[in-house]
Structure 1
Amino acid sequence: METAYKFLNRFLPPKPVIRHVSILAGGTALAQCLNIAMMPLLSRIYSPGDFGIMAAFASFIAILSETSAFRYYLAVPLPKEEQDANALVVLSLLLQVAFAIVLSLVLLVAGKNFSLWSQYFSSILLPIL
């Protein structure tokens, strides 16, 4: 492990800010390269319709994740006192747990209807998009 760390240190810039940006950009580039490298394999396994369903599901989850905690997690670095920041973390966590419980109960009660509803609207909207 030490040799890998020394190997990477030779290629990273010495200034801390540029080093951190390089690590972040390098990780993002590596993730994109991995995504591109796996695409031929995934396109053999899954049909284009499966990718459409995955895109619709991912967009639905992205909307739910943004609305679930009312974006209080973005306010955590703002307070001057650590106690206020800790209170925001606890508030955000409690909102996430409450949202997950409510969503679980809704899906438990109306899961079948929700599934039929989402299939109906995806069959209407996906050809348009």
Structure 2
Amino acid sequence: MLPPPGTPGTDLPVRSALPALADALSATGCAVLVAPPGTGKTTLVPLALAGALPGRIVVAEPRRVAARAAARRMAALIGEAVGGRVGYSVRGDSRRSAATHRGGHDGPARPTAAGGPGAVRGGRRRPGRMP
């Protein structure tokens, strides 16, 4: 699902770490990616992993606005409208379709991308509820 190199807005620093990240996830099932703001963690990593690995990719987003923005950006990068393979579901608002893979429950925002379709979930953490 990752746009090819040279696509405007996708030549970000995290791109060089994507093969190692996918290898680590394939080998161990978990990985931690630490990088400065603006390197592509929220937009490029979920798209790349969705195309490279089976299962669901979950990325935490702190606010509903961030979840919507992440969904818009990822959908734009793959040339689709929000609600197709990339969508979101936040408290009081949802844009998804049968092509959007959506999981989880209310709680912290979670943009997710699965082996193909992706979704972005957002909301506030409620006291006493864990994701």
Which TM-score band (shorter chain)?
Answer: under 0.3
More strand by share: 2
More helix by share: 1
Larger Rg: 1
Return the TM-score normalized by structure 2.
0.21
